[in-house]
Structure 1
Amino acid sequence: MIAKTMAALAVAALFSGSLAAATPTLKDGTYTGTGSGRNGEIAVELTVKAGKLATVNVVRHGETAGISDAALARVPAAIVAEQSAAVDAVTGATMTSDGIKAAVADAIRKAGGDPALFAVKKVGKKAAAKTIKENADIVVVGAGGSGISAAVRAETLGKSVILIEKMPTIGGATVLNAGTLIATGSRYQREVMKETKDSPELAAEDIFRVGKHKNDPVLVRMVTERVGGVVDWLIDDLKIPYGPAATQYPDHSANRQLGVTGRSVNYLNLMREKFLGMGGKLLLETRAQSFITDANGRVVGVKATDASGNTVELTSKAVILASGGFGADQTMLPPSMKNYLFYGVDGETGDGLKMARALNAGTINLDLVKMYPQGVETRPHHGLAATASSTDTMKASGAIYVNNLGKRFVDENAGLGVLTDATVAQPDSIAYIVMDKAAWEKYVAKSLEDKLVPDAAALDGWTKIVNNGRPVMAVSDSLEEAARTMGIDPKGLTETVAHWNAMVKAGKDTDFNRKLSGGLGVGPYHIVEQKVRYQTTLGGLKADAGLHILDTAGKVIPGLYGAGCVVGGANGADSMTAMMNSWAIVSGVVAAETAVKDLK
Structure 2
Amino acid sequence: MAKLQKGTFTGQAGGHGGDIKVALTTDGEHITDVKIVEQHETPHVGDNAFKWIPERIVHYQSLAVDAVSGASFTSRGIINASKQALQAAGGDLADWSQPVPKPPVVAKDQTVDVAIAGGGLTGLTMAAFAIKNGLKPLIVEKNDQVGGSFRYAAGAFATVGSKKVADNQIDDLINWVKELNTHGAKKEMDYDFLRYLEEHTGETFDELVDIAGSKPQIAQEAPYKFAVFGGGAFIVNALEKYIKDHGGLILPDTVITRINVDESGKHATGFAARNAAGCFTVTAKAVVIATGGESYGHKEDLVKTTPSLEKVHVFNEANPGNTGDGYGLLKEAGASFYEGNIYKNAFLDFGWPLRISYANVPDYSKAIVVNDQAKRFTNEAPFFALNLTTALYYEGSPRYYVIYDAAKMDQTFRKKLDAQKEDPKVVVHAGSVKELAEKLDLDPAALEQTVAGYNEACAKGEDEFGKDAAHLESLDGADGYYGLYTMPGSWGTIGGVKINRDMLVEQTDGSFFDNLYALGEMSTNELFSDFYIAGFSLANYSTEARLVAERLAAN
TM-score (norm 2): 0.82
Alignment partner, residue 529 of structure 1:
485
Matching residue's letter, 1:304: A
Matching residue's letter, 2:193: M
Please say if 1:552 is aligned against 2:508: yes
CA displacement, residues 335-382 of structure 1 (integer Å, 9 cap, x when unaligned): 546732223212112222222222111111334222435112328xxx
Listed as ranges, the gaps of 5+ residues in structure 1 are 1-22, 249-254, 445-455
2:170–2:195: 8 Å Cα contact kept in structure 1?
no
1:538–1:574: 8 Å Cα contact kept in structure 2?
no
The CA deviation at 1:479 is: 6.7
Please say if 1:315 is aligned against 2:286: no
Alignment partner, residue 418 of structure 1:
387
Using the TM superposition, name which of 426-435 and 317-326 deviates more.
426-435
CA displacement, residues 226-281 of structure 1 (integer Å, 9 cap, x when unaligned): 21322234237845644434485xxxxxx433031433223333444544555544
Alignment partner, residue 214 of structure 1:
187
Residues 90, 305 of structure 1: alpha-carbon distance in 2 compared, 3 angstrom cutoff:
farther
Q: 1:589 aligns with which of 532, 542, 546?
A: 546
Alignment partner, residue 166 of structure 1:
142
CA displacement, residues 190-211 of structure 1 (integer Å, 9 cap, x when unaligned): x9357585164x2563576579
Alignment partner, residue 252 of structure 1:
none
Alignment partner, residue 205 of structure 2:
234
Residues 121, 427 of structure 1: alpha-carbon distance in 2 compared, 3 angstrom cutoff:
closer
The CA deviation at 1:430 is: 1.0
Distance 1:562 1:245 in 2: 30
Distance 1:72 1:337 in 2: 38
Distance 2:199 2:385 in 1: 24
Alignment partner, residue 359 of structure 1:
333
| Mapping of residues 14-33 of structure 1, within 5 Å | 25-33=3-11
Please say if 1:49 is aligned against 2:27: yes
Matching residue's letter, 2:410: W
Alignment partner, residue 55 of structure 2:
77
The CA deviation at 1:300 is: 2.2
Distance 1:87 1:387 in 2: 30
SS of equivalent residue, structure 2 residue 327:
helix
Alignment partner, residue 287 of structure 1:
255
Residues 179, 144 of structure 1: alpha-carbon distance in 2 compared, 3 angstrom cutoff:
same
The CA deviation at 1:179 is: 2.3
Alignment partner, residue 111 of structure 1:
89
Distance 2:485 2:143 in 1: 32
SS of equivalent residue, structure 1 residue 314:
strand
CA displacement, residues 107-133 of structure 1 (integer Å, 9 cap, x when unaligned): 333334322222232679x98x97423
Alignment partner, residue 436 of structure 1:
406
The CA deviation at 1:384 is: 6.3
Distance 2:11 2:298 in 1: 33
Alignment partner, residue 178 of structure 2:
205
The CA deviation at 1:511 is: 5.7
SS of equivalent residue, structure 1 residue 102:
helix
Q: 2:79 aligns with which of 101, 104, 113?
A: 101
Distance 1:207 1:591 in 2: 29
The CA deviation at 1:322 is: 1.1
CA displacement, residues 23-48 of structure 1 (integer Å, 9 cap, x when unaligned): 96433344443445566654433333
Distance 2:343 2:531 in 1: 8
Please say if 1:566 is aligned against 2:514: no
Distance 1:211 1:161 in 2: 42
Using the TM superposition, name which of 237-246 and 339-348 deviates more.
237-246
Using the TM superposition, name which of 61-70 and 584-593 deviates more.
61-70
Using the TM superposition, name which of 147-156 and 351-360 deviates more.
147-156
Q: 1:186 aligns with which of 161, 164, 183?
A: 161
Distance 1:236 1:93 in 2: 28
Residues 108, 440 of structure 1: alpha-carbon distance in 2 compared, 3 angstrom cutoff:
farther
| Mapping of residues 76-475 of structure 1, within 5 Å | 76-121=54-99, 131-183=107-159, 185-186=160-161, 192=166, 198=172, 200=174, 202=175, 205-206=178-179, 212=185, 214-215=187-188, 217=190, 220-235=191-206, 238-239=209-210, 241-246=215-220, 248=222, 255-276=223-244, 278-297=246-265, 298-306=267-275, 308-330=276-298, 333-334=301-302, 336=309, 339-378=313-352, 386=357, 389-390=360-361, 393-394=363-364, 398-403=366-371, 407-414=375-382, 415-416=384-385, 418-424=387-393, 425=395, 427-434=397-404, 436=406, 439-441=409-411, 443=413, 462-463=420-421, 466=423, 470-475=424-429
Please say if 1:538 is aligned against 2:507: no
SS of equivalent residue, structure 2 residue 502:
coil
Distance 2:198 2:87 in 1: 56
SS of equivalent residue, structure 1 residue 532:
strand
SS of equivalent residue, structure 2 residue 94:
helix
Distance 2:324 2:17 in 1: 24
Matching residue's letter, 1:423: L
2:22–2:37: 8 Å Cα contact kept in structure 1?
yes
SS of equivalent residue, structure 1 residue 117:
helix
Percent identity, aligned pairs only, is 23
Residues 555, 204 of structure 1: alpha-carbon distance in 2 compared, 3 angstrom cutoff:
farther
Aligned residue-pair number: 540
Distance 1:460 1:323 in 2: 41
Distance 1:384 1:552 in 2: 45
Distance 1:65 1:348 in 2: 23
Distance 1:152 1:412 in 2: 41
Alignment partner, residue 577 of structure 1:
534
Distance 1:541 1:110 in 2: 54
Distance 1:400 1:387 in 2: 20
Residues 87, 166 of structure 1: alpha-carbon distance in 2 compared, 3 angstrom cutoff:
same
2:126–2:545: 8 Å Cα contact kept in structure 1?
yes
Using the TM superposition, name which of 113-122 and 356-365 deviates more.
113-122
Tell me the C-alpha RMSD between the 2 structures.
Answer: 4.0
1:480–1:494: 8 Å Cα contact kept in structure 2?
yes
Residues 504, 287 of structure 1: alpha-carbon distance in 2 compared, 3 angstrom cutoff:
same
SS of equivalent residue, structure 1 residue 181:
coil
